[in-house]
Amino acid sequence: MTARFLETVFTPAVLAAQAANGSREAFTHRLGADGPDRIGEPEAAFIGARDSFYLASVTETGWPYMQHRGGPPGFVKILDPATIGFADFRGNRQYISLGNASADDRVALFFMDYARRARLKLLGRMRAVDAGSDPDFVALLSDAGYKARVERAFVISVEAFEWNCSQHITPRFTAADLAPSVHAMRARIAELEAALAERDAAAGGPAG
């Protein structure tokens, strides 16, 4: 938990809730940030391995709005320790995140690694860079070969991040995570089937 993260989300109402529930003192020694958080090696490696995340923006009417964003692993790029970005693919053309960020640039990103039961929350300020206005920059954030039409890049200035604990995260695995184990199991089954067939053949036919 970084001091910057806590200071950003500890609003007066949150502080009052902590006071009412007896936890306010528990955090006072963790405050005292000297500036926005900077992406380090653990955050860069974690973000760089993700194939999806959840993006929260704020509507002009104050509602939280959450959208799932996906792409090839590593589609969210670390531009420098203070900046990350990703390509915005053409989708349902509602442009809610785009519109929200144009009115209020504050966003939250939620990265999950279910297999390793780890998660990272990141707060930042998001701006759009249109593919027409800066094609080279948008190309830098796009992954060649990925089947999607990139309309723009979203660039996020990092404000703060927080690693969460693993409690209550059920491990889940993608097909790619499981592929090596499934491959090994299939090879072993084939080996056993071959051995059985050989034994049956030696005994003059299948047992039964």
Ligand X SMILES: Cc1cc2nc3c(=O)[nH]c(=O)nc-3n(C[C@H](O)[C@H](O)[C@H](O)COP(=O)(O)O)c2cc1C
Which residues contact ligand X by CB under 6 A? Answer: 67, 91-92, 94-97
Judged by CB, which is closer to ligand X: 119, or 152?
152
Residue with Cβ nearer ligand X (67 or 102): 67
Q: How far is CA 114 from the centre of its chain?
A: 10
Residue 199 to residue 132: CA distance in whole angstroms = 68
Tokens (6 digits) for 151:
């309309």
Could you tell me the smallest distance in angstroms from the CB atom of residue 45 to ligand X? Answer: 25
Residues β-bridged to residue 56: 66, 108
Q: How far is the CB of 195 from ligand X (least distance, A)?
A: 49
Q: Which residue is nearest to ligand X (CB)?
A: 91
Give the separation between CA 51 and CA 53, rounded to whole angstroms: 7
CB 188, min distance to ligand X, A? 40
Rounded CA-CA distance 66/81 in Å is: 25
To the nearest whole angstrom, how small is the minimum distance from the Cβ of residue 94 to ligand X? Answer: 4
Cβ closer to ligand X: 6 or 128?
Answer: 128
> Which lies closer to ligand X via its Cβ, residue 96 or residue 184?
96
Number of residues assigned to the chain: 208
**Pick 39 or 150: Cβ nearer ligand X:** 150
The CB-of-56 to ligand X minimum distance in angstroms stands at 11
